[in-house]
Structure 1
């Protein structure tokens, strides 16, 4: 009998920066035997198996990170990482320290926020993003009931228009 051979692949990586964290998605569908190693000086290592293939990733990140505060989880199609930066500041211009283009790394446009607009964005990750959880309505401003205009269906205006129409039937003569 021959042993099953596995090929090693470098997975595709999506990323999106924030001033205080980096979102990284490592695309490995149905990942098993997942190992994630983060190092404070800015190294990310991921290994996993999927459908008989082995995936390995080793990146030297652009800056230092906080391994204590960083989190990761395995979803059906990927390994999702929320990597806390050691120090908040300007967005990282790229994921890795190296200036060389890496075809395996792309911007995650679904998580992208322009640096100028970051403060305006609601942080779904901090809130848990669970639409089934009740929202704190104290955070919303609602005017008092008596400050709303009266319900005007327009019926009165229609009646006034009918009454104001002049009888022009005698002008045809």
Structure 2
């Protein structure tokens, strides 16, 4: 049975810059079999058909656009997560399309891509919008980088550093070298001799009471 893949879309508009007058469409379907991919873009419609996943399930959809696009200046890129499209709107205009499709029909598989959506009056704050889908796909490389998790590696290094500090403070000699930082972990054992104020007042409290009792 042929199924609909999830299709996400966002847009930008411009009445002066063609490259910023685009539709950003993502066919959110992992592991598309490129050899089975049938993709056809015309000025008024788009069709998609492919097998995907380890079981080779069939997916397909057809959509008629709200207004014409320019296939000549539209692009597509395929990665392991999705098929990413940048479709150039034929007519340059500052207003957004009210919807992606010609007919106002609710398609459960067609959704707004909130990760890429920008309101009309906020478009100026987005840089290089024509590259945005590529950034998303570059995100795959980024995801690969995340696999290495440079930040996590830094966290691991940080954990070793703290362990080293703890060992140094436990040894007694390194605590002073790091100022008061080791005192947070070793305050009760190592800081009594230095914190004469609070610690001595707490420690010296009981003896006067004990001395006072025999005196009575």
Q: Same fold (TM over 0.5)?
A: yes
Query: Which protein, 1 or 2, shows the higher relative CO under an 8 Å CA cutoff with sep ≥ 6?
Result: 1
The equivalences for 1:64-75 within 5 A come to 64-75=68-79
Gaps of 5+ in 1: 1-6, 131-173
Aligned to 1:49: 51
**Residue 125 of structure 1, CA deviation:** 3.7
Runs of 4 or more, structure 1, over 6 Å off, are: none
Match of 1:39 among 38, 42, 45: 42
Cα distance 1:77–1:126, how it changes in 2: closer, same or farther (>3 A)?
A: closer
Report the 3-state secondary structure (helix = DSSP H, G, I; strand = E; otherwise coil) of the residue aligned with 1:8.
coil
Considering fraction of residues, name the structure with more helix.
Answer: 2
Could you state the TM-score of these two structures normalised by the residue count of structure 1?
A: 0.66
RMSD across aligned positions (CA): 2.0
Cα distance 1:17–1:124, how it changes in 2: closer, same or farther (>3 A)?
A: closer
Alignment of 1:120 onto 2:121: no
**Residue 124 of structure 1, CA deviation:** 5.1
How far apart are the structure 1 equivalents of 2:109 and 2:103? 14
Aligned length: 124
Aligned to 2:4: 10
**Residue 35 of structure 1, CA deviation:** 2.0
Aligned to 1:29: 30
Report the 3-state secondary structure (helix = DSSP H, G, I; strand = E; otherwise coil) of the residue aligned with 1:9.
coil
**Residue 112 of structure 1, CA deviation:** 0.6
Aligned to 1:162: none
Query: What do residues 38-64 of structure 1 show as CA deviations (whole Å, max 9, x unaligned)?
Result: 111x20111111132111110001110
**Residue 78 of structure 1, CA deviation:** 0.9
Gaps of 5+ in 2: 14-20, 139-216
Alignment of 1:58 onto 2:78: no
